[in-house]
Chain A
Amino acid sequence: MHEMDLNRFERLVAAYGATPSRWPDEERAAAQAFARADPRAAALLAEADSIDTLLFAHRVAEPSRTLRAMVIEGAPRKRRLAGRARLWWTGLGIALAGASGMLAGSAATAALEPITANVLMYGHEDVPALDYSAEENAL
């Protein structure tokens, strides 16, 4: 923290310009008090203000719509997660449909050929179990 005197005030406005809002928070009040109290401050502020005016004459163009679109295109999207979830549910649906089809087929077979059906009740080792762990792992 600097003591506010003519030397510090001169350095402060030479660096930060004439607008108090740009002065460091911790020195603003003291610098404003100095500006009100010391008649030499006015000339320093006027000089700084002329440079501020030059600086703020500089304008840069707004970003183009193309740039904005290109930037947004790369943003992460929920849709990817939703897509994966849809795949998961689709996979589950297919598996359940397949399983129910097999059960229905088994029942029909049992009705038509009870002896074979008894064999089939114990003969489903070749039917893949409904194992979701692989799909879960894939998420």
Chain B
Amino acid sequence: MNADDPDGDLVRRVGEGDVQAAEALVARKLPRMTALAHRLLGDRAEAEDVVQELFLRVWKSASSWRPGAAKFDTWMHRVAFNLCTDRLRKRREVALPETWDAPDPQPLADARITAEQQSDAVGRALASLAPRQREAIVLTYYQELPNREAAALMGIGVDALESLLARGRRALKARLEEADA
């Protein structure tokens, strides 16, 4: 197993049928992968479906997992990312309500606004971004992937990633200011 892969030993033990290792892997990865899917899809129930599918693939692959160029966490991100983008593609193929991605014009700047309300407002602004901008922001900021890894997952170069990040951040701020106006 790859000594540089912090998940390598755990995955090997999962592949040997060690349930404690499986529980440890779930404790380590489930919150991270659920957050990824939730932010990309903007829907908790769909995110849960995705992580269940993701872990089914993890369980199937664990015994045959061999470290290659990618770490296990990167592999999981790739599978989760592809599952999410497949779902988003299917969504676009069906007619969506016109207001599907419209930000909810709730006030943000109220001094008494709660953290939860602010989180909701940012969530709505994130959901309203162009999909590629949202993907770039989620992978870079929330999942904290290095820029090359995020770019590779998205199938683009680092310069294109930076452009998506900058436009996404500007758009996010503008959406929140619009909602606040």
> A residues engaging B (CB < 8 A)?
11-12, 14-17, 22, 24-25, 48, 50-51, 54-64, 67-68, 70-72, 74-81
Nearest residue, chain A, Cβ from B47: A60
Main secondary structure of the interface of A (DSSP, over half): helix
How many residues of B are counted as interface, with CB atoms below 8 angstroms from the partner's CB atoms? 51
B110 vs chain A, min Cβ distance (A):
14
Judged by a CB distance under 8 angstroms, whether B30 is at the interface is yes
Main secondary structure of the interface of B (DSSP, over half): helix
A75/B141 in contact, CB under 8 A: no
B19/A78 in contact, CB under 8 A: yes
Nearest residue, chain B, Cβ from A24: B147
> B residues engaging A (CB < 8 A)?
14-19, 22-23, 26, 30-31, 34-35, 38-39, 44, 48, 51-52, 55-56, 59, 62-63, 115-116, 118-119, 121-123, 125-126, 137, 140-142, 144, 146-147, 158, 161-163, 165-166, 169-170, 172-173, 176
B36 vs chain A, min Cβ distance (A):
9
Q: Which residues of B contact A63 (CB under 8 A)?
A: 30-31, 34, 48, 51
